[in-house]
Chains A and B, each alone.
Chain A
Amino acid sequence: MVNRREGRISMVEILPLFLGALGLVMVFSAASGMSVYKRVIPVSFIKQLAIFVLAVTLFFISSRVKPEVWKKLSGNLIVLAIILLIFTYVFGARINYARRWLYIGHVSFQPSIFAQLALIAFLAKKRDFRISVAAIAITTGLILFQPDISTALVTAFLGAIMMFLNGTDTRKVAVLSLVLILGGVVYIASQGYAVQRIATYMNSESISQTVKAISTGGWKGLGLGSGMRKFFYIPLADSDFIFSIVGEELGFSGSLIILGLFLLYLISASRYSIRARDRYLVVLGLGLISMIFINALIHIFVALGSIPVTGVPLPFISSGGTALVVNYIAGGVIVSIAKNGGDIRRGNRRTYIPGSLRS
């Protein structure tokens, strides 16, 4: 039975690759803007190409690994993540008043994103309430003090989702979320720059550049590569604002394709996850797809001007090494859950049937 499934391609396998390919094109377009202007080669694209190859390799490896491995490794992973976060806090490179990056030679690495993955893997296993809260508190706290408020918030919410899924008393989770939100508000209020940024968002009457870029797109967009906003107007167009460039150059049709692919990915991945034979795999799969989808939503909402500006890359599409690698690993795990985690007890009808959306 296992042999018959091999060699078939499923939706959860093809979507990350398709989005990644689309991402490469968009990153090339976004990065070429400034490099053409400055007459240099688009370095970020070449970097992205190399990382893409690495990430896809890891994607295939993790999709071939039995998903149960993560259950065994989860304890070690969270410890590793916490150690890396402490390392970042001590040795990290200081860029714009924040230490978020760890440099090993010329290779940079963002432990906070890895910590999200580790936390999900850790909390997917049903654990004691206090241990769970401690794990969330430590990782979130360390990220918060980098400081990186948005990533910390996402991490905390992912933790809360995991606890919610894992059958911890819902009321406890609600209280915890409330505490998290209040703590977050107090912390943001204590940080001048964040308050300022939110105040700017609330008060500004002018339309932000990203909204202008997206509106300029219209139905069909200006055409691939002919967007204007990537020149100076939108900083970090190839990572934090790639969706704005998509909106401008590919228009409503292109943006809708990306939006639709993410929805398709959410639905197919959560479907396969729910059907996994092991409770751990169900929660793990749902946690991973939540991570990918929440990041995607935040990125898109920033681009659409619905929430204040924060630097979250669009999974599979934006340039940015750690996020791409981590998301592809997560995608690989989802594939492996879909392939190997079929619930035998429920019979073949409900198991994974490759190559079809119907189950």
Chain B
Amino acid sequence: MGDRVLRIKAMSLISIFVLLWVFAFGRLFYLQIVQSRDIGRKSRTEQVRHLETPARRGEILDKKGRILATDLKLFTLYAEKSRIVDIETTAKTLAKYGIGSATRLESLLVNKIKLIRIARGVSDSVVRKLNLEGIYAVREWFRYYPSGRVGRTAIGSLNWEKKGISGIEREYNKQLAGSNGWAYYLEVPRYSGISLLKRCEENYEDPIPGRDIYLTIDLDIQYILDSELRKLGERTKADQVFGLCIDSRTGEILAMVNIPEFLPEDGWRNNGCVAWQFEPGSIFKLIPAFAWINEGYSLGDTVVGSTGSISFGGKVFKDPHSHPAYTFEDALVHSSNAGFVNIGEKIGKRELYRCARYFGIGCKTGVDLPVEYSGKLPILERMRDIRLATVSFGQGVNTTPLQIVMAYQAIANGGVLLRPRVMKEIRRKGRIIEKSRTEVVRRIGDRETALKLLEILYHTVEKGTGELASLPYIKIAGKTGTAWKYSDGSYREGEYVSSFVGILPYPDPELVIGIFLDNPKGPYYSSVTVCPAFKEVARRITFLKGYRGEMLYAFRGTP
């Protein structure tokens, strides 16, 4: 009897236990099978982080391998407030290593923020010496431009996520950036509330460093042009100055100067050498002159009488200075506007238009730089006589500095227009993987025509408007230009664009150097403002390049 009762009690007790077990089983099944996908996935991402390992960005170098932009491995310091034992001594120790002033650091550390960035760009050697509780160093790549402002507009800059936003950095961002690696990190929570990330060593991918870009830029020439144009800009108080130096035989851009040079902190500005559009003025006369010779007109034809005035399309064009009767050659050498109105009339708008198009006016040059503008050539059908007359001496047409320089390059290169380029080669670990080549855009005319024109340009520097640009020991061909500045719908009173493009050495040209001066104050004539600066540039570059043989020859030639 007693046993039976005990048996029943025991069975009921065990039944309760089994019921509870069934409940536990159900709960286990619910959590591990039904809910697993939801909760499990959520909690997996919570504790394991998939983070990118930034790749080293490739270097940008000049044609001789001098560094223009490089990535440095530096550290960013963070302070975790709750871990810092003594704020004052920590701040003093940091200040001792040159990381900011002690008072500033102290005020930062007293701040309520749990984790605060206290310094960027701290070097490896300093970090190795630092051993402070609560101070963390995070390794980062810092972009560094050793040449400072020199050539910075062309080189470009990066945004906060290290993506190129201007210049070479933008054009070749893909090659420079490389590809980021990744790794899994275990998030280790701590009582202070800030988790530590611990890298899991089993599964990761190393970053692939970016490729190095070798530019056609020659840092020596860049420095020369930069310093001379800076001086010129200061002297003339011009709004901006642009300078270009191009190898006429290959189309390589050897120097590209923007004054003032663009820095990211100055705000956004395009590279003016390819994006500044202006009315070129007399420097554009190269093109009608080329058309004149190409059409077979004689160089000795008189194009303007001693009155210095031409009437065309119901308007009278008069040269500012009185002069004798000019032949074609004289008109170019002395840059007579009236003469060129006559030349324009003779060759006709169709031929002028065709020739300008051939020289690449109104088209992008195809240089490997971002944000290039095409300039503007009036549409042939809508070109009235007055417009034909002004285009003949370079007004009423929009160009960029690079277009003008490339037009002169075509003349220097015997009538073959090349594509300008900035990238020389791309290297991976020192091995060349891509190389840019000289690209011919088109032949614009006969070699003889180009040589004839080049000779006249030489005379321009020898005895014409470009006289102040000439050097005793090297022959230079060139053309000056002083244009009325057209902006916002009207010509500006007293605002000019002075420019000079020089080709040297004559008669076997190697370099084309263009200088463009936007709105100089005081004397604005190109022949007195830009030419002396060009002379200085040419002098320094020829010394650098070693044209001393030419110099001796020149001395021997003179009695």
| CA of A216 to CA of B40, assembled, Å | 4
List, in ascending order, chain A residues with CB within 8 A of B48's CB.
228
List, in ascending order, chain A residues with CB within 8 A of B9's CB.
164-165
List, in ascending order, chain A residues with CB within 8 A of B18's CB.
263, 266
Please tell me if the beta carbons of B21 and A297 are within 8 angstroms of each other in the complex: yes
Q: 7 A–B contact pairs at CB < 8 A?
A: A164-B13, A212-B40, A259-B25, A263-B18, A274-B10, A286-B10, A300-B24
Give chain B interface residues in 13-33, CB to chain A under 8 Å: 13-14, 17-18, 20-21, 23-25, 27-29, 31-33
Question: Given A233-B47, A297-B21, A304-B24, A290–B13 Cβ distance below 8 Å?
Answer: yes
Using a Cβ–Cβ cut-off of 8 Å, how many residues does chain A contribute to the interface with B?
Answer: 46
Closest A residue, CB atoms, query B12? A164
Is B186 close to A, CB under 8 A? yes
| CA of A161 to CA of B14, assembled, Å | 11
List, in ascending order, chain B residues with CB within 8 A of A305's CB.
31
Closest B residue, CB atoms, query A218? B36
| CA of A266 to CA of B22, assembled, Å | 13
List, in ascending order, chain B residues with CB within 8 A of A218's CB.
32-33, 36, 40
Question: Given A214-B32, A216-B39, A259–B21 Cβ distance below 8 Å?
Answer: yes
List, in ascending order, chain B residues with CB within 8 A of A61's CB.
none
Please tell me if the beta carbons of B13 and A255 are within 8 angstroms of each other in the complex: no
Separation in Å of the B17 CB from the closest CB of chain A? 6
Closest B residue, CB atoms, query A161? B13
Question: Given A217-B36, A232-B189, A165–B10 Cβ distance below 8 Å?
Answer: yes
Give chain B interface residues in 197-249, CB to chain A under 8 Å: 198
Please tell me if the beta carbons of A165 and B13 are within 8 angstroms of each other in the complex: yes
Residue-wise, chain A 319-331 has the 8 Å CB interface mask toward B (1 for contact) of: 0000000000000
List, in ascending order, chain A residues with CB within 8 A of B10's CB.
165, 270, 273-274, 282, 286
Please tell me if the beta carbons of A255 and B32 are within 8 angstroms of each other in the complex: yes
Separation in Å of the B48 CB from the closest CB of chain A? 7
Using a Cβ–Cβ cut-off of 8 Å, how many residues does chain B contribute to the interface with A?
Answer: 38
Partner of A165, one of B6, B20, B40, B46: B6
Partner of A215, one of B17, B21, B43: B43
List, in ascending order, chain B residues with CB within 8 A of A297's CB.
17, 20-21, 24
Residue-wise, chain B 38-79 has the 8 Å CB interface mask toward A (1 for contact) of: 111011101110000000000000000000000000000000
Please tell me if the beta carbons of A252 and B39 are within 8 angstroms of each other in the complex: no
Please tell me if the beta carbons of B6 and A167 are within 8 angstroms of each other in the complex: yes
| CA of A256 to CA of B42, assembled, Å | 23
Separation in Å of the B251 CB from the closest CB of chain A? 59
Please tell me if the beta carbons of B28 and A247 are within 8 angstroms of each other in the complex: yes
Given contact pairs A263-B18, A270-B10, A304-B24, enumerate 20 new A-B contacts (beta carbons under 8 Å): A37-B188, A211-B39, A212-B40, A213-B43, A215-B35, A215-B43, A216-B44, A219-B32, A228-B48, A228-B186, A229-B47, A231-B186, A233-B47, A266-B17, A279-B6, A286-B13, A294-B17, A305-B31, A306-B24, A306-B27
Give chain A interface residues in 136-150, CB to chain B under 8 Å: none
Separation in Å of the B292 CB from the closest CB of chain A? 82
Please tell me if the beta carbons of B189 and A256 are within 8 angstroms of each other in the complex: no
Separation in Å of the A241 CB from the closest CB of chain B? 14
Is A335 close to B, CB under 8 A? no
Is A293 close to B, CB under 8 A? yes
| CA of A262 to CA of B24, assembled, Å | 12
| CA of A213 to CA of B18, assembled, Å | 25
Is B5 close to A, CB under 8 A? yes
Residue-wise, chain A 178-194 has the 8 Å CB interface mask toward B (1 for contact) of: 00000000000000000
List, in ascending order, chain B residues with CB within 8 A of A207's CB.
39, 42-43
Question: Given A216-B39, A232-B189, A300-B24, A290–B17 Cβ distance below 8 Å?
Answer: yes
Separation in Å of the B315 CB from the closest CB of chain A? 84
Partner of A256, one of B2, B3, B7, B28: B28
| CA of A167 to CA of B7, assembled, Å | 11
Separation in Å of the B203 CB from the closest CB of chain A? 12
